[in-house]
Each structure stands twice: as structure tokens, then as C-alpha cells.
């Protein structure tokens, strides 16, 4: 049993303290035993940053090097990644900032045109939720982003992931208010689970842990990065002989959209498709499946 003073920060009043594998859960949609989700992060920062610091004592502090990386992702990277997905005939979830819809609307429209899911990542990647001092400030970021994305994509936005992803104690209630179906804010379970937010149900589809983002792989180099991803997939695939497993790989369009990293993704997709019982699903398909099977049985 949870200690009362820990329930609020852990949000165990909303989230199950111990997610379970339901008895019905013997396969994924279509009979697969491995669900692989690709999340493309199409982000924009109003104040671009990069790991390489600005020169000491710089008078001009706007980082044009970091800006170029973001611009590359929106101008070229996302298109290259969409081509990779097309070649393999799979669908992904593209989690994107509202600012992207304002500055590069054609890229968001193309995501929708090619049949991928568009989800919101808040308004501005430079403003992670913990910096918001009030619930209204955080809500405004989400509402503004949803409005921009829906205007451009011409589809209802039903999925959310906080920048970071680092939600606040207010985030789940904001997601419920907006009628979102799923959240990818939590990296805490091998299986999806239902979250009851004041009587409204949201599915936690999970994020990358214990799997990877491309930022984890870049320091390893292309060959070793691909090998790391394949070995991690192999471990989950082996376990899926006992019970269904999921695997998530998150790609930033300004990182994986470069030629070398896009080839890593290309090879990885082909590797997964060479395994019986492994199938790719966007987040909305995972969420809808869980809702269909679990119904209102919130733990």
C-alpha cells in the first residue's frame, strides 16, 4: 500500500501502482506477439539549444548552430524519414510542436497525407512543463498546440507527450480535459495500462524505456548503434515467446533525418520485418486496442 504523502507526486491516485498483464492479453492486433512503435519527434524550439556551448563571454547568445539543426529537421529530415516509412509500408506516430504547424505547416500536412498519426508535443520544445508556474500556463500551451495542429492536419489530435517527457502534477488532468485518448509520458511498464482521471480514461502507451531514442544511439556510431537496437529488439522478441511484448524507438527528425541515421532506421525496420509475429503500430492503434479490450476496467 502506498504511503499517503507519496500518492500525489507519484500520481497513484490516477495511475495504477502496479500495472498488470490482463488475462486476455495473449496477442496484439492481428495476432502479433511483438508490437513495435516508431515515434517521430518533429520539434521546434523558440530558443534553440545544443550540447555544444556558446563561446565564453558571447555577446550574441542566439545559437544559430542549434537553429540550423532544427531547420534541417523540418526542411529535409522529416521528409527523408517519411520516405523510409513509405518504402516499408508502415505507419508511425509523429509527435510535433504546435510551433511546427505555424512555421512548417507543409511538413505536418504531409505527415497526415501519408497516413501517419499526428500527436501534440506542446507548443514549444523550449518550454518543458515543469517550467510552467500555473496549471493555466501549461493548459494554454497544450490548447494552442492542438488548435494549430488540427488547423493544418485537418484531423482531431488525440495523443500527447510532454516535452522531456516530463509531465507535471497537472498534466494528466489537462489531457483528460482535452479528451486525449493516449499519453506517452510514462516509461514505467512493459504493457499499456488505463489511467482514470476523475472518471475519464486515458491509455498509457509507454515511451522508450527500456528501449531507445536516437540520441542514445548517436554516440555509439551507426554500426554499433544499429547493433544495439537489434540486440535490444532480440531480447524483447525472445521474451515475447512467453507473453506479448512491445518495443518503442523514438527518432528526432533533426537527428534521424540525416542520411546516416535514416539508413540506421531503414535497416532496423527491415530487421524487424524479418521476424515472424512482429508488427508495427502507431500509438493510436495500441490505445484503441487496449480500450476495446479493457473497456472501463480501470485498475
Domain ranges (residues) in the chain: 31-47+62-294
Q: What is the CATH number of domain 31-47+62-294?
A: 3.20.20.370
pLDDT at 2 over 90: no
Q: What is the pLDDT of residues 148-206, one digit of tens each?
A: 999 999 999 999 999 999 999 999 999 999 999 999 999 999 999 999 999 999 999 99
Report the alpha-carbon angle 73-208-1, nearest 5: 145
pLDDT at 16 over 80: yes
- Picking from 205, 213, 197, the residue whose alpha carbon sits closest to that of residue 246 is 205
Question: 191: exposed, middle or buried (C-beta count within 10 Å: 0-12, 13-18, 19+)?
Answer: middle
Measure Cα distances from 231 to 63, 103, 263, 288 in Å.
37, 38, 17, 29
Q: What is the pLDDT of residues 197-222, one digit of tens each?
A: 999 999 999 997 767 899 999 999 99
Question: 57: exposed, middle or buried (C-beta count within 10 Å: 0-12, 13-18, 19+)?
Answer: exposed
Q: What is the pLDDT of residue 226?
A: 98
What is the value of pTM for the model shown? 0.93
Q: What is the pLDDT of residue 7?
A: 66
Q: Can you read off the three cell numbers belonging to residue 276? A: 515472424
Name residues whose C-beta falls within 8 Å of residue 192's C-beta, 6 or more positions apart in sequence. Answer: 203, 204, 205, 206, 246, 286, 287, 290
Q: How far is CA 1 from the centre of its chain?
A: 31
34-42 and 278-280 beta bridge pairing: parallel
CA distance 30 to 11: 33
Q: What is the pLDDT of residue 59?
A: 85
Amino acid at each position: 500500500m502506498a504511503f499517503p504523502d507519496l500518492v500525489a507526486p507519484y500520481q497513484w491516485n490516477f495511475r495504477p501502482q502496479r500495472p498488470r498483464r490482463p488475462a486476455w492479453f495473449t496477442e496484439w492486433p492481428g495476432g502479433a506477439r511483438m508490437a513495435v512503435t516508431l515515434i517521430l519527434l518533429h520539434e521546434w524550439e523558440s530558443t534553440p539549444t545544443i550540447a555544444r556551448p556558446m563561446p565564453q563571454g558571447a555577446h550574441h547568445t542566439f545559437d544559430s548552430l542549434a537553429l540550423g539543426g532544427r531547420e534541417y529537421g523540418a526542411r529535409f529530415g522529416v521528409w527523408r524519414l517519411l520516405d523510409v516509412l513509405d518504402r516499408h509500408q508502415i505507419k508511425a506516430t509523429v509527435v510535433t510542436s504546435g510551433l511546427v504547424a505555424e512555421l512548417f505547416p507543409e511538413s505536418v500536412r504531409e505527415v497526415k497525407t501519408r497516413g501517419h498519426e499526428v500527436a501534440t508535443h506542446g507548443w514549444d520544445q523550449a518550454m518543458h512543463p515543469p517550467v510552467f508556474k500555473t496549471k493555466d500556463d501549461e493548459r494554454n500551451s497544450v490548447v494552442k498546440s492542438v488548435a494549430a495542429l488540427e488547423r493544418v492536419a485537418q484531423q482531431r489530435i488525440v495523443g500527447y507527450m510532454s516535452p522531456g517527457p516530463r509531465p507535471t502534477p497537472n498534466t494528466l488532468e489537462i489531457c483528460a480535459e482535452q479528451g486525449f485518448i493516449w499519453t506517452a509520458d510514462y516509461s514505467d511498464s512493459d504493457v499499456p495500462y488505463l489511467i482514470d482521471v476523475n472518471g475519464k480514461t486515458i491509455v498509457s502507451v509507454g515511451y522508450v524505456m527500456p528501449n531507445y531514442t536516437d540520441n542514445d544511439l548517436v554516440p555509439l556510431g551507426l554500426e554499433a548503434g544499429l547493433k544495439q537496437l537489434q540486440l535490444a529488439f532480440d531480447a524483447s522478441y525472445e521474451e515475447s515467446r512467453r507473453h506479448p511484448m512491445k518495443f518503442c524507438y523514438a527518432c528526432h527528425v533533426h537527428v534521424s533525418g540525416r542520411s546516416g541515421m535514416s539508413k540506421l532506421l531503414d535497416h532496423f525496420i527491415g530487421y524487424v520485418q524479418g521476424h515472424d509475429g512482429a508488427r508495427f503500430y502507431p500509438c493510436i492503434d495500441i490505445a484503441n486496442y487496449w480500450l476495446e479490450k479493457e473497456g472501463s476496467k480501470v485498475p
